[in-house]
Structure 1
Amino acid sequence: MRPPTTFGPGLTARLGASLAGVDAELARRYPGDAGGRQPVHTVYAPADAVTAGTVRSWGDRALAALDEHAPTAGALAAALGLPAGLAGPVHDRVRAKLAAEPVEDLRIDFEDGYGRRSDAEEDEAALRAAELVAAGTGAPFAGIRAKSLEAGVRDRGIRTLDVFLTALVAAGGPPDGLVLTLPKVTHAEQVAAMASLAEEFEKAHALDAGRLRFEVQIETTQAVLGPDGRATLARFLDAGEGRVSALHYGTFDYSAACGVAPAHQAPDHPVADHAKAVMQVAVAGTGVRLSDGSANVLPAGTGEQVRAAWRSHHDLVRRSLARAYHQGWDMHPGHLVSRYAAVYAFYREGLAPAASRLVAYTGGGRGDVLDEPATARALAGYVLRGVDCGAVDADEAARATGLTRRDLEELVRPGPAPGAPRNGSSPSQG
């Protein structure tokens, strides 16, 4: 027998009709992560210095540094403070990564790392960059950072982008893994202008609408707080009309803009934490990804200096990962050692606890934590990131969780997570 109710039969329908627009708007703005691999870092190199051998050169230099300054698992553990049980697997995986795929994301730089050159020289560099990207750089993700859309360099930035993309089309079209970076954005209209350039290029070359997307670098205070005192990043996403793929924090430009003394400019400074927290809230649920900035203490000099720089960088990377910044920028081949060591240790040490909670959540056992669907999505996403970056093997993750990759991807999707408890035992606290 159905219990008595108060609301009339038409009320639900009327409310549904009144909220239909809101439902559609929320679905449009917050589709959740589209899935797929996110690189753990971006390496940027000046456009005049990049060659077909750059990625391999970085890997070889990183391997040489590892062999010289941490040739054994114990030496790496001592340098970075790794737990003894992780040292062997992490050392082995770092070495294998540096040998097979040392750079995950290569950004050919026409901005700060390149400076101002003659038009002929920059045109030639843009053509050469297109040839390299079209042929394959050795990194699964690659592209350029042109100059910004600020008045003083706008025309040159647009021209470099045009030359690069036009040459890519002539070489067969934009490849998978192409990444474009827009630096020093200060106003939403600059994002809109970049989106307009992408749209015009697509139309001119009959590319699929939305094929060209771009990252926005957050390097100015105006990108975080507008002159009217309101947060601006959500406007950036709107202005990009679905083309903004990521927000990347620019450590040193942003710190300098806030008046931070050079000796204190770092990814863990309070001004950096504030900016990145605003970025994080602005993109939550939108599918736009995040990247932390770089550290400028280079692993060079004596063995003691190299290991000290590694430890500093390792700790910064770990800190970013704990704060849900899964990507960062690296400035030196030696940083690859501490980057991958930090990433691999982070995911390997957390696999067993995450797997145990997933097993309990999906009904395969009992755990000490009662997880909600949102946390189950985060747990599944954590495992997938560990597999994608090479910290964990796919079969290792499957054995630990009892779930296939498809199962994990289903859990990550927005909405009620598959496998959620059906008996009402999960509290609703989210």
Structure 2
Amino acid sequence: MTFTTGSRALAISKYGIAAAKGSVPTAPSDTSTTPAPRWRGRILQLFPATTFLLAPYLGLILPIALIQGNRQLPFILGLLGLALLGCLVAEGLTAPVRARIDLTRTAGPTTKALRAITIGVTMIAAATRIAFVLAGGGSLLAQLTGSQQSPIASAASLFSSWNLFGVGLIFACYMRKACSKRTLWLGISAIILIEGWAALQTSVTAPLLQVVTSVMLMALVLGLVRLRVLVVALIVVLLAWPTFFSLRNSVRVELGSSVDQSVTAFDRLRFDDQLTAVAQFKVPVSVNQPGPLQVLRYGLVPRVLDPNRPNISSAGLINRVLGGSSTSSYNFLSIGTIYFFYGPAGLIFYYFAAALLFSYIVSRAIRAGPIALCMAVLAASSLMGWASTFPDVVIGYLQALISFVPILVVLLIFKQRDRSHPGAAGSAASSSTTR
């Protein structure tokens, strides 16, 4: 409704009363909330642990088992069912509470500060990763023989998880409109390329596998990528795998590691056989794997402060139980390895606890909080990794939490500073919406 008074017009609407010359006020822009996701995306966000557990099995492991006529398929489904039970109970109990979480964006650094922190973290991650590999760290032979690392490799290992934190911060930049979608994928691609180079240099492909799968699935859960994009990415990886597998084996031979020449690239994709190898054992099995105190020691105390401790490789222990050499490793994927060491009850309990933690972190991450997004990517790559070796993965998770402290301090400092200068934060937020 409009009333004319002289040369001015008063416009009355649901947004209040405003005075303008021949114009009606528009709705104020709201930059403080995250758009509500579609119902499919919301289900993924309420059941993220279930999504991470099922995705590799539905997309790769079970189809290959069906095509190859694996007679142990019921055993695979049984183990998957135990892990799924733990996830569904944990997420089902907490889903009603998490569904009511306000999607209002959490407080954080300004757009400019967040971009600067992200660039700094990713550059440090890239530099230390390259330095670590060039200094001889992370190779398969070094992990299994426990050879002493050089001072450079030991120092660089403190930043081994910063590539994951870089991914989390890149996600935060995009979700807070601090960068474009093109910049988002260029940054993530650069991190993955460095991991691919490191995998070829060290002949260890597990870190690359974990980074790629966790990043893509995390992007799916956050609504940053569509399912069809993941399908295309999977096809590209499968096509490139034979070449990468051949290069990896060549590097292993040069490093003096044993390689079974009868195993082809396709055989290495038979993750169903890798999992069903645990069926021959009466679980739980004790092979002097790390206990709780060792997990805490290795997870919370940096190697530079405890340089004489021996390396831990539960996958190496499993390989020796299977009759393999000490210069190779083997696991039964995540669910099979946990089942091997702790039995059915341990498998259910682990995924119950992991799902509780992961679902809570994701519920915070969808609000575009930089800290929560870093923690979500870390948990996705470690605790929810589908090919991880337990309990080594818990040690790595604890080590990563310690290494995150400097980033956490910087984020909290800028968050507190921007709270004390709301004008600057507000101007940055409003400017970011005009991109």
Q: TM-score range by the shorter chain?
A: under 0.3
The structure having more radius of gyration, on CA atoms, is 2
Normalised to the residue count of structure 1, the TM-score between the two structures is 0.28
Structure with the bigger percentage of helix: 2
Normalised to the residue count of structure 2, the TM-score between the two structures is 0.28
Higher relative contact order (CA 8 A, sep 6+): 2
Structure with the bigger percentage of strand: 1
